[in-house]
């Protein structure tokens, strides 16, 4: 007798997710299969996680070798994988120190704590306010929903954590006014707002943040949870904009499918947190770290240039296509605004064997960075057909 997974899930798992009517059982590369054996080309990658696709052999080998050696140590002891991963992360980004956790929200929590502590000790001229952007998304914990600039995530969970204010993305005048008035100790943002609708920030807006930070002394924190690890065609999205933040956070793709979060600190703030200030039982877990090291080592110039080529291919195919209103995003993080309802397109694509997801009212594409061109072409054709349907 086959188990009714959907019924079991609905009965026993708290109903926080509106799942697609699909039970996935296995996959390889950019192909996944449901419980009836139907094949799909996956352009969601578990929301920007499986950046080398499903069951990637090199990553799986790194993970299983570590799994069969030492699966967990706690942070009471030293262990090699997380030390090596921290070195690689710092060397690739010119940063100085890393704190490891298990998710994007936790990486941001750590950034918020560290920035608060740094500011309390070093920025007495500034206020205990962190400025984040309207329409941002920084996670689901109480502090990170407070940082998130969308009321929909706030409304049922008040009181929120104090000390967060929001300023509209790409509005330089409002930014200048808010910085002048609030004197925040930090500004935190995603270079491309992912959950907010795949919206890249303007270069001029980011330049202004950098300019104001020099004038006022506030810290710049970049949330690279979704944009990071090659997704936008550079290792981290701030590299597209030519600046280096004081702190950046990442998760999702870094783990390649295992939970990991990293908060990465520049030299300036590297000593902000001291022994006992923060911790995590699983943070820097050897298995997740061994996998992440493998992932990071393989995000090289060749892969990044492939990301940009594939991005151009998708944009060229879909720009101006029937039913497409606009395309936004960067690299392999793209949002398609369509005439048809995005949910209907997503359902039709699923029916035709292509998995895409949603961001606000857009069809969002987050394929594996190494998706074979053949799979991508086939998927884009199906997406194009379903966007044009009935238009």
Ligand X SMILES: Cc1ncc(COP(=O)(O)O)c(C=O)c1O
**Residues at the contact surface with ligand X, assessed by CB under 6 A:** 103-105, 108, 137-139, 190, 194-195, 223, 225-226, 251
CA 301/CA 239 separation, integer angstroms: 13
The distance of Cα 101 from the centroid of its chain, to the nearest Å, equals 15
Contact at 8 Å (CB) between 338 and 312? no
φ, ψ for residue 212 (rounded to 5)?
-65, -35
Contact at 8 Å (CB) between 334 and 204? no
> Hey, what are 169's tokens?
């993305």
> Which residue's Cβ has the minimum distance to ligand X?
104
Residue with smaller CB distance to ligand X, 265 or 375: 265
Residue with smaller CB distance to ligand X, 98 or 321: 98
Contact at 8 Å (CB) between 23 and 34? yes
Shortest Cβ distance from residue 346 to ligand X (Å)? 17
Shortest Cβ distance from residue 251 to ligand X (Å)? 5
Residue with smaller CB distance to ligand X, 263 or 386: 263
Shortest Cβ distance from residue 238 to ligand X (Å)? 13
Shortest Cβ distance from residue 224 to ligand X (Å)? 8
Contact at 8 Å (CB) between 145 and 154? yes
Residue with smaller CB distance to ligand X, 49 or 126: 49
Residue with smaller CB distance to ligand X, 105 or 296: 105
Residue with smaller CB distance to ligand X, 195 or 246: 195
Shortest Cβ distance from residue 73 to ligand X (Å)? 22
Residue with smaller CB distance to ligand X, 138 or 298: 138
Shortest Cβ distance from residue 264 to ligand X (Å)? 14
Instruction: Decide: residue 254, CB within 10 A, 0-12 exposed, 13-18 middle, 19+ buried.
Output: buried
Instruction: Decide: residue 173, CB within 10 A, 0-12 exposed, 13-18 middle, 19+ buried.
Output: exposed
Among residues 69, 33, 32, which one has the least CA distance to residue 54? 32
CA 210/CA 226 separation, integer angstroms: 21
Shortest Cβ distance from residue 67 to ligand X (Å)? 22
Task: Name the one residue in this structure whose structure tokens are 């997974």.
Answer: 5
Q: Which residues of 344-367 are buried (b: 16+ CB within 10 A; e: fewer)?
A: ebbebbbeebbbbbbbbebbbbbb
Shortest Cβ distance from residue 139 to ligand X (Å)? 4
Residue with smaller CB distance to ligand X, 123 or 287: 287
Contact at 8 Å (CB) between 269 and 115? yes
Shortest Cβ distance from residue 94 to ligand X (Å)? 22
> Hey, what are 7's tokens?
């019924």
State which H helix or E strand residue 127 sits in. strand 127-133
CA 357/CA 349 separation, integer angstroms: 10
> Hey, what are 323's tokens?
């039913």
SS3 222: strand
Residue with smaller CB distance to ligand X, 29 or 197: 197
CA 250/CA 138 separation, integer angstroms: 11
Shortest Cβ distance from residue 190 to ligand X (Å)? 5
Residue with smaller CB distance to ligand X, 41 or 260: 260
């Amino acid at each position: 007798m086959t188990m009714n997974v959907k019924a079991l899930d609905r009965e026993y798992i708290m109903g926080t997710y509106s799942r697609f009517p699909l039970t996935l059982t296995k996959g390889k590369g950019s192909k996944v299969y449901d419980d009836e054996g139907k094949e799909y080309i996956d352009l969601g990658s578990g929301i920007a996680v499986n950046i080398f696709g499903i069951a990637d052999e090199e990553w799986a080998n790194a993970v299983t070798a570590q799994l069969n050696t030492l699966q967990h140590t706690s942070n009471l002891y030293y262990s090699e994988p997380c030390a090596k991963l921290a070195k690689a992360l710092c060397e690739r980004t010119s940063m100085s120190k890393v704190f490891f956790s298990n998710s994007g929200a936790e990486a941001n929590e750590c950034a918020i704590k560290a920035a608060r502590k740094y500011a309390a000790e070093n920025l007495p001229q500034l206020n205990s306010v962190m400025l984040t952007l309207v329409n941002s998304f920084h996670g689901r914990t109480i502090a990170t929903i407070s940082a998130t600039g969308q009321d929909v995530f706030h409304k049922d969970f008040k009181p929120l954590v104090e000390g967060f204010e929001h300023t509209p993305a790409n509005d330089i005048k409002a930014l200048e006014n808010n910085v002048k008035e609030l004197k925040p100790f930090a500004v935190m943002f995603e270079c491309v707002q992912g959950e907010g609708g795949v919206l890249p920030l303007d270069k001029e807006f980011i330049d202004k943040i950098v300019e104001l930070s020099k004038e006022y002394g506030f810290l710049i924190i970049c949330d690279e949870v979704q944009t990071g690890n090659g997704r936008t065609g550079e290792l981290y999205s701030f590299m597209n904009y030519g600046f280096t933040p004081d702190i950046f956070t990442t998760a999702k793709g870094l783990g390649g499918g295992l939970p990991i979060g990293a908060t990465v600190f520049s030299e300036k703030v590297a000593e902000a947190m001291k022994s006992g200030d923060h911790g995590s039982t699983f943070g820097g877990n050897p298995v997740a770290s061994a996998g992440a090291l493998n992932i990071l080592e393989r995000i090289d110039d060749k892969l990044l240039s492939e990301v940009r080529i594939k991005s151009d291919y998708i944009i060229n195919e879909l720009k101006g296509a029937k039913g497409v209103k606009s395309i936004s995003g960067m690299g392999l993080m793209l949002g398609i605004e369509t005439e048809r309802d995005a949910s209907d397109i997503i359902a039709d694509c699923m029916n035709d064997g292509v998995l895409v997801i949603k961001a606000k009212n857009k069809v969002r594409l987050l394929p594996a960075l190494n998706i074979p061109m053949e799979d991508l072409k086939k998927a884009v054709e199906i997406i194009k057909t379903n966007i044009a349907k009935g238009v």
